[in-house]
Amino acid sequence: MQLSNYLFFTTACEQALDFYTQCGLGKVVEVLRYGTADLPHTNESMRGKIMHARFEGPGVLFYASDNDDAEPMRGSAHILMLDNRAQTNQLFERLSQGANVTTPLAVQPWGGYFVSVMQRPRRPFRTQIPLVVR
């Protein structure tokens, strides 16, 4: 058994997946679109938008879709556990472009090297690794 996240976007799923790909998190391995191959669509503005996508990368698996009636979700975040500070710094540089950094990248009171980023298109993504002591 494996638990995977499903991210819902109003109409910006493709842009989000492109951004995650550019950040080096992985790539889209499956995509189905509204209004193609007999897949239903709720209104004409959703034609061609993503009905279902699968995104995979090393240690990453999630699903995503566009839903023009999606409610804003509260109370959840996605945490990326990385192996070292260099990897965290590199990914932080990519994810923070145009983002709101809500907790600066630093060693936190509990000892973890942590950053909290609200990245585009307004989805929470947090990166965290344990403090590396040499």
Q: Identify the pLDDT of residue 29.
A: 98
Q: Residue-wise pLDDT tens for the chain (134 aa)? A: 577 888 888 888 999 999 999 999 999 999 999 888 777 776 888 889 998 999 999 989 999 999 887 776 665 667 777 888 888 888 888 888 877 788 888 887 777 788 887 765 555 554 444 433 32
Q: Give the residue among 80, 59, 56, 68 at the shortest CA–CA distance from 13.
A: 68
Q: Identify the pLDDT of residue 132.
A: 35
Is the C-alpha dihedral spanning 36, 34, 1, 128 positive or negative? positive
pTM above 0.85, yes or no: no
Q: Identify the pLDDT of residue 117.
A: 79
**Contact yes or no for 67/51 (Cβ under 8 A):** no
- Domain spans of the chain, in order of start: 5-66, 79-129
**Contact yes or no for 111/128 (Cβ under 8 A):** no
The CATH label, of 3.20.20.140, 1.10.3720.10, 3.10.180.10, 3.30.930.10, for the domain at 79-129 is: 3.10.180.10
Fold of 5-66: 3.30.720
Q: Identify the pLDDT of residue 129.
A: 43
What's the Cα-to-Cα distance from 3 to each of 6, 48, 62, 63, 91, rounded to whole Å? 10, 28, 9, 11, 23
Q: Identify the pLDDT of residue 55.
A: 96
Q: Identify the pLDDT of residue 28.
A: 98
